[in-house]
Amino acid sequence: MATTDKTETAKPQAEEVGWETKVRYFLNSDLVRSSPYWGIPFFLMGIAVYGGIGFNTAISLTDARGLTPPNYSPGNLDFEMYTQALGSSAFLSAAQNNLVLLIVFTTVCLLLGLFLAILLDQGIRYNNTVQTIYLLPMALSFVITAQVWLWIYNYDFGLMNIITRAVGIGSVDWIGNPSIALGSVIFALIWQFSGYTMVVYLAGLRSLPDDQFEAAHVDGASTLKTYIRIIIPQMKEASVSAAVVLMVFALKAFTFLYALTGRYRPPNGTDILATLMVRQAFKLGKWAYSAAIATYLLILALGVIAPYLYYQYRQGSL
């Protein structure tokens, strides 16, 4: 295009640069010329993500509820909803459940995924087919898997209770009993997500040079020792990125819990911040209150993402 010619003719005047030349330089810069490519998506995404967050914060500072429009006059902006949330036992127990879900779910998924990846990396025949089977749950919607798990946890005819009855434990109310419902939910989520961590670890394992095993074997180290001492420490990057994805998911998991009962209220004892927030907003119409809960959720998520981005930046992989 003609733009390249313009830069060449403009260059010789570099000693005394007028503002017109500066503007021309700027307009010909790669920043501006590539802007149609990244600018339009950035604009759309920016409105949706950052505009949405800003709007949400504005609503959380009002008293908006029901169908009345929020009142944005400066005198009416306060942090009442935030303190109200912190003082409510429903919020605190949801936050506690969220924390339990996050820690147990992330830890077990990482360990199981690592185990499966190492297992499949042993030269198992048809390992691609096996990988496809292990990853299958990830292709399904939470709405669908929740239906299947409801059937498995069914008190009278479900697979779980047929097993427990055969073993002699008797029937267990997996979803209805508040003290084990959260465990049942976490178990189903681990079933759905451990294939994902396996894939991440497999990619990590396959990127390692093969001669590490040979070297370790020459030194007389067993396979187990080689994995613990040499291979697993090199999986740090894979672990960190998978952990961030799982932790952020654990914070915002809503669909699975909603679909378990098909109502606004998840099974007894499994309320997390995301389900509490949606119920407050769409069932009770407490827009400002639920916006405040959403802000807390966002802060928790940023607490996970920010160190991760910093870590990536330090690694030079951003």
For another protein, what does the binding mask look like between residues 204 and 243, x meaning CB under 8 A?
Answer: ------x--xx--x--x-xx-----------------xx-
Shortest Cβ distance from residue 184 to another protein (Å)?
13
Count, residues near another protein per rule CB under 8 A: 112
Listed as own residue / partner, the contacts of 136-140 with beta carbons closer than 8 Å and 24 or more positions apart are 136/195, 137/191, 137/192, 137/193, 137/195, 138/192, 138/193, 138/195, 138/196, 140/192
Q: Which residues contact 22 (CB under 8 A, 6 or more apart)?
A: none
Q: Which of 282, 283, 303, 307 binds another protein (CB under 8 A)?
A: 282
244 binds another protein (CB under 8 A): yes
Distance of CA 79 to the CA centre of its chain: 28
Interface residue with another protein among 61, 81, 114, 278 (CB under 8 A) is 278
Could you say whether residue 71 binds another protein (CB under 8 A)? no
284 touches another protein by CB under 8 A: no
Q: Identify whether the C-beta of residue 205 lies closer than 8 Å to the C-beta of residue 234.
A: no
* Contact positions with another protein (CB under 8 A) in 3-62: 3-4, 29-31, 33-42, 44-53, 55-56, 59
Residue with smaller CB distance to another protein, 51 or 178: 51
With respect to another protein, which residue has the nearer C-beta, 168 or 179?
168
Q: Residue 141, interface with another protein (CB under 8 A)? A: yes
**Which run of H or of E encompasses 104?**
helix 89-120
- Count CA atoms closer than 13 A to 39's CA, side-chain side: 7
